[in-house]
């Protein structure tokens, strides 16, 4: 017997968190989150989740938790774009199509009750840039911080339910090696001199100014036709800074400026803390803190989440210059590669820039969509 429950009690919350711990083996590239932080995340205590209705649900088979998902509505995005869409996030399920149908059926009914016409997923929580899509290829390489790993059959479960491909997102892998550094050392100074721009580290002592500049770049660089994005509010910018700063390494976050000191581009990148979390099995205590401090020194991978350049400075070497600064610092610190992800398939400018340091996408993540019938 399969029963789907809305998370209300502490036990149900723990069941939601623990479902994937029973699904993945130690040899798989799934990385367990810190359970305490994850509970805050799924309750909207440190993000924009509660900008619209949402529910966490757990599926039980013969009393055993065997699947989960979060279903919600990004009210702000819907209002801004004129949509009637809901999203699915954080899906996990045993290899049982009936359990999958029970989870997705509940999500569909929830969205129909709220007047939604489409269901998309898996997506990041509102205003997020993490856990987007299902991996559809390359299930062997490591999963970098705040990125997705899933069972291959999740794609089959969504298709069997009637979901269709919406869009793909891509990950690109750029090696930090001497040959690439030497090649860029010849090109980047020329581009910076010709087009009159500089690249500098984010100034952590002047975050209000820096975040205002970041917002200015996003407003100029984000095309209106990007269906799944809207310009961030001041509060969302502050929230992003609050979330990332404790983990940020200023050697990997840069702002590009023109000759008049106007911001023209920026990136957000984080050391791959998954290399640490993999060793901690979801717990900081009693010994996790020591593991964290020990393995933090061994991090040698970088994930680039975001990179924006204003239109008038695209194809002028700004993206390459930002990447070059990270490459130099990374090689000094013993890093071996950076992953740029997840880049939507409609973001051709960023894909073209990524191909400057990678031959082709090395991972593909798929987001699905389903039209909902009116009840």
pLDDT tens digits along 296-317: 889 999 999 889 999 999 989 9
Residue 13 and residue 73 in one domain: yes
In terms of pLDDT, which residue wins out, 161 or 80? 161
* CATH number of residue 233's parent domain: 3.40.630.30
165 belongs to a structural domain: yes
Count of residues for the chain? Answer: 375
370 belongs to a structural domain: no
Using DSSP, state whether 248 is helix, strand or coil.
Answer: coil
Residue 164 and residue 198 in one domain: no
Residue 292 and residue 349 in one domain: yes
Structural domain including 290 reads: 173-362
- In 3D space, the residue among 93, 86, 7, 5 whose CA is nearest the CA of residue 42 turns out to be 7
pLDDT at 285: 60
Residue 180 and residue 41 in one domain: no
Confidence of residue 286 (pLDDT cuts 50, 70, 90): low
What percent of the chain is predicted at pLDDT more than 90? 66
The 10s digit of each residue's pLDDT in 110-162 is 999 999 999 999 998 887 788 999 999 999 999 999 999 999 999 999 999 99
Using DSSP, state whether 76 is helix, strand or coil.
Answer: helix
Residue 150 and residue 198 in one domain: no
The last residue of a domain, from among 151, 170, 189:
170
Q: Calculate mean pLDDT across residues 51-56.
A: 91
Confidence of residue 226 (pLDDT cuts 50, 70, 90): confident
CB 269 within 8 A of CB 302: yes
- Inform me whether the pLDDT recorded for 55 exceeds 90: yes
141 belongs to a structural domain: yes
The 10s digit of each residue's pLDDT in 249-261 is 889 999 999 999 9
Q: Which residues have C-beta within 8 Å of that of residue 297, sequence separation ≥ 6? A: none
236 belongs to a structural domain: yes
Domain count for the chain: 2
- In 3D space, the residue among 220, 225, 232 whose CA is nearest the CA of residue 256 turns out to be 220
Residue 135 and residue 189 in one domain: no
- Inform me whether the pLDDT recorded for 287 exceeds 60: no
State how far the Cα of 252 lies from the Cα of 200, in Å rounded to an integer: 10
Give me the long-range contacts of 359-364 (CB less than 8 A, separation at least 24).
360/172, 361/170, 361/171, 361/172, 362/138, 362/141, 362/171, 362/172, 362/173, 363/135, 363/137, 363/138, 363/141, 363/170, 363/171, 364/135, 364/136, 364/137, 364/138, 364/168, 364/169, 364/170, 364/171
**pTM of the complete model:** 0.92
Average pLDDT of the chain to the nearest whole number? 91
In terms of pLDDT, which residue wins out, 185 or 155? 155
Residue 114 and residue 160 in one domain: yes
- Least trusted range by pLDDT, from 69-83, 230-244, 332-346: 230-244
| Structure tokens that stand for 187 in this block | 């090109």
Q: Calculate mean pLDDT across residues 100-118.
A: 97
Residue 199 and residue 305 in one domain: yes
- Inform me whether the pLDDT recorded for 215 exceeds 70: yes
Residue 178 and residue 116 in one domain: no
In terms of pLDDT, which residue wins out, 150 or 233? 150
372 belongs to a structural domain: no
């Amino acid at each position: 017997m399969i029963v789907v429950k809305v998370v209300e009690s502490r036990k149900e919350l723990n069941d939601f968190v623990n479902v994937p711990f029973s699904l993945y083996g130690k040899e798989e590239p799934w990385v367990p989150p810190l359970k305490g932080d994850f509970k805050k995340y799924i309750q909207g205590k440190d993000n924009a989740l509660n900008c619209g209705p949402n529910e966490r649900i757990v599926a039980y088979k013969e009393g055993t938790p065997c699947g989960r998902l979060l279903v919600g509505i990004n009210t702000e995005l819907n209002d801004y774009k004129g949509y009637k869409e809901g999203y699915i996030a954080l899906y996990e399920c045993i290899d049982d199509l009936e359990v999958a149908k029970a989870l997705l059926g509940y999500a569909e009914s929830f969205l129909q009750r709220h007047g939604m016409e489409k269901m998309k997923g898996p997506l990041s929580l509102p205003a997020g840039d993490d856990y987007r899509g299902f991996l559809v290829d390359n299930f062997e390489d490591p999963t970098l911080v705040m990125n997705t790993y899933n069972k291959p059959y999740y794609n089959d479960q969504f298709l069997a339910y009637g979901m269709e491909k919406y869009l793909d997102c891509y990950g690109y892998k750029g090696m930090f090696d001497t040959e690439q550094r030497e090649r860029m050392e010849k090109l980047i100074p020329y581009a910076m001199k010709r087009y009159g721009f500089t690249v500098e580290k984010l100034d952590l002592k002047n975050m209000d100014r820096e975040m205002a500049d970041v917002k200015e770049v996003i407003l100029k660089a984000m095309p209106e036709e990007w269906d799944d994005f809207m310009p961030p509010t001041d509060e969302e910018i502050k929230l992003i800074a609050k979330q990332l700063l404790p983990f940020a390494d200023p050697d990997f976050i840069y702002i590009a400026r023109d000759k008049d000191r106007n911001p023209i581009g920026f990136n957000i990148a984080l050391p791959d803390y998954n290399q640490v979390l993999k060793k901690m099995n979801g717990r900081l205590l009693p010994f996790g803190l020591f593991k964290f401090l020990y393995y933090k020194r061994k991090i040698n991978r970088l994930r680039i989440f975001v990179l924006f350049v204003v239109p008038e400075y695209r194809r002028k070497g700004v993206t390459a210059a930002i990447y070059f600064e990270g490459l130099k610092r990374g090689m000094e610190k013993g890093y071996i590669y950076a992953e740029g992800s997840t880049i939507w398939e409609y973001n051709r400018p960023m894909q073209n820039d990524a191909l400057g340091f990678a031959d082709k996408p090395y991972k593909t993540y798929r987001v699905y969509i389903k039209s909902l019938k009116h009840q």
